[in-house]
Structure 1
Amino acid sequence: MKLVFEIEPYEDMLDEPFTTESYLLDRINMFVLENNKRKEFCTSTFNGSIVLDMAEGLIELYEQKEKKFTVEMYESTYEYTFTYFQKLLTITRYEGYNGETIEVLKCRFEDFVEAFVKEYEKYHRFILKQDPHAFENEDYCMMRDQINTLNNYLKKLI
Structure 2
Amino acid sequence: MRMRFEIEPDEELAQLPFRVSTYFEYRMNVFVLQNGVEKEFCTSTFHSSILLDLAEGLINMYEQNQQPFVIEMFESTYEYTFTYFQKLLTITRYEGYNGETIEMMKCRFDDFVAAFVTEYDRYHKAILKQNRQAFENEYYCMMRDQINILKNHVNGVI
The TM-score normalised by the length of structure 1 is 0.98
Structure 2 residue 42 is the aligned partner of structure 1 residue 71: no
Alignment RMSD, CA only? 0.9
User: 4+ runs of 1 displaced by more than 4 Å?
Assistant: none
Please say if 1:23 is aligned against 2:27: no
- Partners of 1:25 and 1:48 within 8 A in 2: yes
CA distance in 2 between partners of 1:35 and 1:96 (Å):
29
Tell me, yes or no, if structure 1 residue 13 matches structure 2 residue 13: yes
2:125 aligns with: 125
Distance 1:79 1:66 in 2: 19
Q: Quick one: distance in 2 between partners of 1:88 and 1:41?
A: 17
* Unmatched tracts of structure 2, length 5 or more: none
Match of 2:149 in 1: 149
Separation (CA, whole Å) in 1 of partners of 2:47 and 2:84 = 23
Residue 65 of structure 1: CA displacement?
5.2
In structure 1, how many angstroms separate the alpha carbons of the residues matched to 2:106 and 2:35? Answer: 15
Looking at structure 1, the residues matched to 29 and 105 of structure 2 have their Cα atoms a distance apart, in angstroms, of 16
Aligned length: 158
Aligned to 1:101: 101
Range 50-59 or range 62-71, more displaced: 62-71
Tell me, which stretches of 5 or more residues in structure 1 are unaligned? none
- SS of the residue 1:31 aligns to: strand
Deviation, 1:35, is 3.1
The answer on whether the counterparts of 2:66 and 2:83 sit within 8 Å (CA) in structure 1 is no
SS, match of residue 94 in structure 1: strand
Percent identity reads: 65
Separation (CA, whole Å) in 2 of partners of 1:48 and 1:68:
21
Q: CA deviation at 1:34?
A: 2.0
Contact 1:67 1:85 in 2 (8 A): no
- Tell me how far 1:36 sits from its aligned partner: 2.9
